[in-house]
A and B are shown apart, each in its own frame.
Chain A
Amino acid sequence: MNINFEIALAGNPNAGKSSIFNMLTGSHQHVGNWPGKTVERKSGSLKYKDNEIIIVDLPGTYSLTAYSPEEMIARDHLLYDKPEVVVNVMDSANLERNLYLAVQIIELGIPSVMVLNMSDLASAKGIRIDKELIAKELNSFVVTTIAREQKGGEDLLEAVLAQKSKLSQGMKAYEPIKIDYGHEIEVEISELSRLIMNSPAIKKVFPVRWLAIKLLESDVDIQNKLRLLAGGKEIIFSAEGSKIKLEAIFEEDLDVIIADRRYTWIHDLVKRAVFRPKEKFISLSDRIDQLTTHRIFGIPIFLAAMWFVFKLTADVSAPYLDWVDGVIHGPIAGWLYAILYGLGLEGSWFESLILDGVVAGVGGVLVFVPVLMFLYVALAILEDSGYMARAAFVMDRLMHALGLHGKSFLPMLVGFGCTVPALYATRTLENPKDRILTGLLVPFMSCGARLPVYILFAAIFFPHNSGMVVFSMYLLGIVTAIVLGIILKNTLFKSKEQSTFVMELPPYRVPTLRSIWFHTWERTSAFVKKAWTIIMATSILLWFLMAIPVQGIGSFAKTDVSDSAFGVINKAVAPVFAPLGFGSWEASSALFTGFVAKEVVISTMTQVYSVLEEPLEIEQIPTISEGLKEIGVSFWAASIDTVKSLPLIVGINLFEEGVEDDPTSLMSSIRVGFEESSQGHAALAGLAFMVFVLIYTPCMAAVAAERHELGMNWTWVSIFGQLGIAWMMAFAVFQGGKLLGLG
């Protein structure tokens, strides 16, 4: 005799449900969609002994609480289509988590078979499961399978038939277990059950106890369905009363309490039925994390990682920086000059615009492309390895300990790249006070655009400790932000609310070359694009301002820069910076134009000083082949020097003693200028200049983002506040250093 019946396959995602479905149905499968949904519906059939069994594969879910379309589909199918047996597939190695769904299926009153799938993986981890105890406690059949290897299918089908046969003896033969929710809740469940039992229309559709529990959990979907049935509204009203009563007793949301009781019941069962090796398995990632996220060692490890990054950036990139400088100001400038010479434009204002404006301005910034590439490579390695997530976590905890919002560090970390997205990232903070405070602190993080300024000034004034100086700038930015944050948090931005969070730390992995290259290229190309757009436009505008004479005897494009409109304006501003050691008009003009973009500080200096350089001579210009050969040879030499400079990170110098790079004319000019403006304390003035660049008003794009995110009033506070703080800190560095006899 052929018996046709339906079983439903339920289970958590990744428990191996699809493998079980394939093992049972083979090629007899039908794929479609659940009615009115976009969720895939798979069904299949098989013949076993005298039975024709239809198997419906339910969507993978963690519970039946109707939180998602998948859960609604699974629950509705079990509730209304009433399969005769539910096969619940569980991952044996993660049984406790998987049992939550199992308990909900059993509470629904449908006979079930519990499948302990992937039992081989559990055994490999030393996990032993008392099947009989689980079967007894769940009043269900329990079988083990390894669906991947097609093992256990027959045991499963036998269990299904046994459950079915038990069922055919009448529902009394199948008594679903009842989770004890505690006296107070059980009293309300009983009361609601009594009301449901008195409503035939409702009793016919829903399992009584299950419905009572769902109503106490305030299941909206069930409430909506119940309202359509006679007597439903009254029962919902009564359930709401019970809920209010119970929440007053427990002082906690009832849905949490009910879920908690299920978890506790499961935990108790697992404690008795699942045996694990005494020594807990700790993954390598977790072992490393115990060190990298350690309360004491976490911060020094983070600082060491950042020190390494800037040491690599400053020391190792130097040969390529010199190479790009040589290429731009050598063959490229020469060829451009030759073209202009050929066009008869030699000595014209146009030649000056191209060479003193565009090449000096844009070229002066592009020189730093290798530096940024090295920085982005190092950061990409930290990100892709998974360490950056730990750094965010460690810094987060520090900020929290200091009374600041933990999540503030996430935008700050983005701020190391660019202040603009960092300001937008403050949206993650819910509290407006925290959001504004973080928005005010983010610009203190040193963005990538400021790095060329540090690199140049560190090379001029601290050639032997440039990596450490650059690292100190970044650290100073963080410390300033934290100190200011603490002050503001305890004055203007007082709030009691402190939200904490749980952070998932991705496993460590070896970064791939492809991913490192992708990150590096994306970020470096952004810098290069900026050089050809904003920086070029600014350089051209500056050139015009430098070409217009407003005093002296010069004419257009043939005037001393100090007599130009640009020079005269900045001479008026320069005295403000005199107490900081860099009161020359050249330095103040670079800070002034730095408001457009921080890279412009460099391009302005290059333009201001390059006009003093010796003019090119047509006889010195290399031919194309000579130039290309020169580029190739110098690239090879730079590559060798880069390899030789790698040991510099750990203090080993492979270069010949006494052999040092000659400073470029720009470096020499800046040094001379700072010597003059500081009366012989050039290093202190250089350091004060770097501090000022770090702290003062961010670029105009960042200011626009501030206005968008913080409003105009706070933007003014940020602009003038940062200017004031920058001035005071640079003053402290220069004057304090002088007092202490440094520099």
Chain B
Amino acid sequence: MLSEVLRTLNNATEPFSIPELSRRLDLDRSVLDGMLTHLILMGKLKDEDSDPERSEFTCSASHCGHSDTCSFVAKMPKSYSINRGKG
């Protein structure tokens, strides 16, 4: 089950949405959410939102007059990817 989630993501050739992955593995959505959280805590998956470089993003150019925040950085959907560093 958990291994299958990891294997599916490792072997995937394209991105998935969570409902798609849930259908593909025939897993209840809440169970899959739990497994993804578990894999993140284990360090096997990476929560893209918690990427320090991403969260610390600031626009050093300040050319548009908005030096504190960038109004163009729309919040992208939460995504998780395989943490290659953790094999």
Contacts and interface: CB of A to CB of B under 8 A. Distances in A.
B84 A499 contact: yes
Q: Which of B1, B15, B18 has the most CB of A within 10 A?
A: B15
Contacts of B57: 421, 424-425, 427
Nearest to A262: B2
30 contacts: A62-B37, A62-B38, A63-B41, A65-B41, A94-B30, A96-B30, A253-B87, A256-B44, A260-B2, A263-B2, A286-B19, A400-B15, A406-B15, A414-B72, A417-B74, A418-B72, A421-B57, A421-B70, A425-B54, A499-B81, A500-B9, A500-B16, A501-B80, A502-B17, A503-B79, A504-B77, A505-B77, A529-B66, A597-B63, A701-B63
A252 B54 contact: no
Contacts of A667: none
B47 to A, nearest CB: 10
Given A428-B54, A505-B17, 8 more contacts: A62-B37, A396-B15, A397-B15, A502-B79, A505-B19, A506-B77, A529-B65, A705-B60
Interface of B: 1-4, 6, 9, 12-21, 28, 30-31, 33-38, 41-42, 44, 48, 51, 53-54, 57-61, 63-66, 70-74, 76-82, 84, 87
Nearest to A65: B41
Interface stretch (A195-203, A363-371, A518-526, A654-662): A518-526
A424 B34 CA distance: 32
Q: Which of B9, B20, B31, B87 has the most CB of A within 10 A?
A: B31
A702 B72 CA distance: 14
A504 B78 contact: yes
A97 B2 CA distance: 12
Contacts of B3: 252, 256-257, 260
Contacts of A68: 41
A622 B76 CA distance: 50
Given A392-B76, A393-B77, A264 B65 contact: no
B66 A393 contact: no
Given A263-B35, A505-B19, A500 B14 contact: yes
Interface string A481-520: 0000000000000000111111111100000000000010
A529 B79 contact: no
A420 B61 contact: yes
A360 to B, nearest CB: 21
Interface residues of A, number: 75
A272 interface: no
Interface of A: 62-63, 65, 67-68, 94, 96-97, 100, 252-253, 255-257, 259-260, 263-264, 267, 286, 289, 293, 383, 388-389, 392-393, 396-397, 400-401, 406-407, 410, 413-414, 417-418, 420-422, 424-425, 427-428, 430, 448, 497-506, 519, 522-523, 525-527, 529-530, 532-534, 597, 699, 701-702, 704-705, 708
B77 A389 contact: yes
A63 B39 CA distance: 12
Nearest to B86: A253
B85 to A, nearest CB: 8
Given A500-B13, A502-B17, A420 B30 contact: no
Contact of B59 (A255, A257, A424, A499): A424
Contacts of A534: 63
A428 B48 contact: yes
A527 B2 contact: no
Contacts of B74: 383, 388, 413-414, 417
Contact of A256 (B6, B64, B71, B82): B6
B13 A400 contact: yes
Q: Which of A424, A428, A503 has the most CB of B within 10 A?
A: A503
A286 B17 CA distance: 10
A705 B61 contact: yes
